[in-house]
Amino acid sequence: MLYENIRQAKFINRPNRFIANIEIDGKIEVCHVKNTGRCKELLVPNATVFVQESASSKRKTKYDLIAVYKGDRLVNIDSQVPNKVFHQWVLESNFFKDITLVKPEAKYKNSRFDYYIETAKSKIFIEVKGVTLEENGVALFPDAPTERGVKHINELISSLDEGYEAWIVFIIQMKDILYFTPNEKMDKAFSTALETAYMRGVNIIAIDCFVTPNSIKAGDFVKVKI
């Protein structure tokens, strides 16, 4: 996926989870943060960030925060992009053989999963999670407690009993990751639910991404440790 109108800026602070103050061209500007997660280890004063400039006069902010450098590692923090990365990967990778249908936002019972895929042999529900938290080369999810995430896992487990395949795909929005593991310290319930899902037969994979200031694309499979 390519972004247009990307500009480099300097992060100053984040008054709330929706906006940040940045310095660009010597001016202080208010920027929309496209990620409501904590991102505390990423959004630190003076960090180099990349923002997308909008020409719309109807917006309250002129910029969207897309990516940030953590040391030498560029991390995409756009929470809307993992589903798009996954969709492109599905169409290009041939990972799921003989696809006949790809449907985003598929309703099942009390949940709405990110994707429903049909192949010649299978009916598949898929939940996609974007990962921006990294510690010592290890990717972790979540970076904040997520009751919604636990609910989705439990519903995926339920779908197995009705003959569906179920997948959880972690899109790691950076490169050079050693492995992925659930963030048990942050959310024990999510970690436990993920372990239960794995034991029940839910497929769990993680894929890293090639990230540049103006692009993101699915990369390679990353080992999952549960």
Q: Tell me which amino acid residue 104 is.
A: P
Q: Tell me which amino acid residue 90 is.
A: V
Domain covering 81-222 in this structure, CATH number: 3.40.1350.60
CATH class held by domain 6-76: mainly beta
Strands 99-108 and 111-119: antiparallel
Domain limits of the chain?
A: 6-76, 81-222
Nearest alpha-carbon partner for 179 in 158, 159, 207, 200? 207
Question: Mind listing the pLDDT tens digit of every residue in the chain (226 residues)?
Answer: 999 999 999 999 999 999 999 999 999 999 999 998 889 999 999 999 999 999 887 888 999 999 999 999 999 999 999 999 999 999 999 999 999 999 999 999 888 999 999 999 999 999 999 999 999 999 999 999 999 999 999 999 999 999 999 999 999 999 999 999 999 999 999 999 999 999 999 999 999 999 999 999 999 999 999 9
Helix (H, G, I), strand (E, B) or coil at 83: helix
Q: 214: burial class by Cβ within 10 Å (0-12, 13-18, 19+)?
A: middle
pLDDT number for residue 57: 75
Nearest alpha-carbon partner for 104 in 77, 78, 81, 84? 84
